[in-house]
Every structure is written in C-alpha cells, then in structure tokens.
Amino acid sequence: MAPTAINLCCSAVRWTPVLFITAIVVWSYYAYVIQMCIFTVESIAEKVIYLLLYHPILFMFAWAYWQTIFTKNGPVPKEFYLSLAEADQLERETNEDRQREMLKQFARNLPILNRTMSGCPRYCEKCRCIKPDRCHHCSVCSRCILKMDHHCPWVNNCVGFSNYKFFVQFLGYALLYCLYVAITSLKYFIDFWKGGAGNGMGKFHLLFLFFVSIMFGISLISLFGYHLYLTCKNRSTLEAFRAPIFQSGPDKEGFSLGRGGNFQEVFGDQVKNWFLPIYSSLGDGVSFPSQSSATMSYQTMGNTPSMGDGVTYPTRTVDLDSDNLLGQRQRWMEEGEEEMNPPGNFQTASSQLHLVSYTDH
C-alpha cells in the first residue's frame, strides 16, 4: 500500500473517537428532546423549562468541542529554526561538548529559560529547531507544539497553548451537560423501574440516557477537576509529570504567577470572556513570565550551570531529549519512540508519561 494511502487510512482512524462522541451526543439529543421531553413529560410548562435550559448548555458544549478540535496550534517562530547549514553542521559534529556549545551559540538571542540538565537549549532533531519554553514534539501531529499539554484522541488534536482554554471549557460544559441530563431524567428513570414511564423502546432510551450521562459525568468530574488544578498551578500535564528545568534545577512552580495570575494566563483578564469559547489567553505561547525571570536568563547560565543546593530530583524530571544530543539517548515520551530505560523507577515513570501523552485520562 502506498504511503499516501496509509496516511489517509491513519487519518480516518484518528477521527473515530470524535465520531463516537458526536454519535453519542446526537443520540442523547434524540433521547432527551424527543423521547423524554416530547413523548414522556406530560406537563407543558415542564417541557418548556427543560428544553429552554437544555439547548443553551448543549450549544456551549458543542461550541467548545468544535473549538478544541479545529483550533490549530500556532507554529514555532521561524527564528527558533536552524538553517540547513547549521543543522547539518550540528549533526556532523561528534563531540558532545562541542555540540552543546553550538546549541548555546544558536540560542544565544532566543527568549528561553528552560533547558536540559546539561545546560543546553532543548533541541528537536525532527523539526530542527530550538524548542521554546514549554514546547514539545508530538509524534502524532509530527511537529513541535507550543505549551503542549497532551495529544487527545477524543478531539483528534494536540491540546496546547492555542486551544487549552477551549479544552478546559469543553470538559466543563460536557460535565454540566451530563449532570443536567442526569438530574432532569432521574424522575422518569425511577418511573421506568416502576413501569410507568415511556412506551416500548422509549423506556430503553430513558434507561440508557440516564446511565450514559452518569457514566460520562463521573469520568468528567475527575478530569475537569484535574485540569482546573493544573490551570491554577500553571502547569501542563507533561510538566506535572516532569518539572521544567531552570538554572536552579527542576521546578514545577517555575511558571506560577499565583492562582489568579495563572487562571488569567489561560482564560484572559476579562471576566466576560471566561465562559465563552473564544480566544482570550494571555501571551504568545513562546515566552512566559516566571518567578525567576527577573534574575535569570539563558545568557547567565555559563558553561557549568549550577543545579542548586538541596534540590530534590523526582523520578523522570529531567528533559533528556537533547542531553546526549545527536547520539542514542532517552527522548521525550511524546515523540513515541522506544527508549532505553535505566534501572530503578525510571521505567515506571516513562510508562506513565507515555500514557499521558497519548490518552485523555
């Protein structure tokens, strides 16, 4: 089979989770509006109230979902890319110390704070670019994603700087949708067990409507809560597993601006935009304010960076995707490659990160 045909097949398969969610929502609309509100609910006033509240919630849910799916992640600025000559020169160099010096030279005028444990700028061999802060390569999208959180198969898109607000809103409105459907259908679900609600297949629609809304609602509570926590901490999912490295070492709080500042960085500084799936995030996705930005810059790192005193290094906190540079080495799990795992707990942490990078848990 030709590579083009294989790519088309893979692309079609990736839309399967989105089509599944869409089918569930379309069926839930039929079950709720037609089977419950029109055929089962007897009170006209109750019908009207249910439908008037239901449709705005559904609209916001669908709008946020659409934005999460179809908002493209912004490209890495061109100044972060090495020229062909620079990339070839780097790849031909066999001395690792020389490679590190070359990377530092290439990145000398770039606004980056994050680095590898050895003090190098983070470099992506596949894209041939210096990675901006919080940027990572996604093997599914085949490019570097600004402030990458994870690749989510349920939206067939990478969740990153451009659409993270929409993703959190999607989770929130999906949870609200499930709770609303479950609460308003509970009365008729109970009547079903008593044998008094619905006729024929209508009873089964009400039964499954309640169960499906409860099932998805329970899953969304933990997921939505977790991403609200990450938003208030100013962390991505990847950073929650492996802290970004600054001059003083790994620091999960390195980009934290306080709960209010962290929230506004994602949702914007105008309250009217917090609940609408329109772009309002602060910044450009390339550079971010940090607790130490006033005293730390990449140019001050020197040849032998200090790793700080008393720094605790959790399992798999080090960005090793360019630590040994162009030789065989450990890479970010979001690049989807088989890795050489050192002894101890390293392998366990790697497996966990791989799960986060490709599944929306």
pLDDT digits (tens, 9 = 90+) for 163-194: 999 999 999 999 999 999 999 999 988 888 77
Q: Structure tokens of 82?
A: 């090495």
| CB count in 10 Å sphere of residue 271 | 9
Burial class (CB in 10 A: 0-12, 13-18, 19+), 239: buried
Residues serving a catalytic function are: 152
Reply yes or no on whether the pLDDT at 319 is more than 70: no
Reply yes or no on whether the pLDDT at 94 is more than 80: yes
pTM above 0.85, yes or no: no
In the chain, what is the straight-line distance between the N-terminal and C-terminal CA atoms, in Å?
34
Average pLDDT over residues 291-295: 53
User: What is the pLDDT at residue 343?
Assistant: 38
User: What is the pLDDT at residue 2?
Assistant: 59
The residues, any chain, with a CB within 8 Å of residue 218's CB and separated by 6 or more, are none
Reply yes or no on whether the pLDDT at 158 is more than 50: yes
Reply yes or no on whether the pLDDT at 86 is more than 80: yes
User: Residue 35 in contact with residue 206, Cβ under 8 Å?
Assistant: yes
Beta bridge partners of 216: none
The dihedral built from the CA positions of residue 91, 92, 98 and 104, taken in this order, carries a sign that is negative
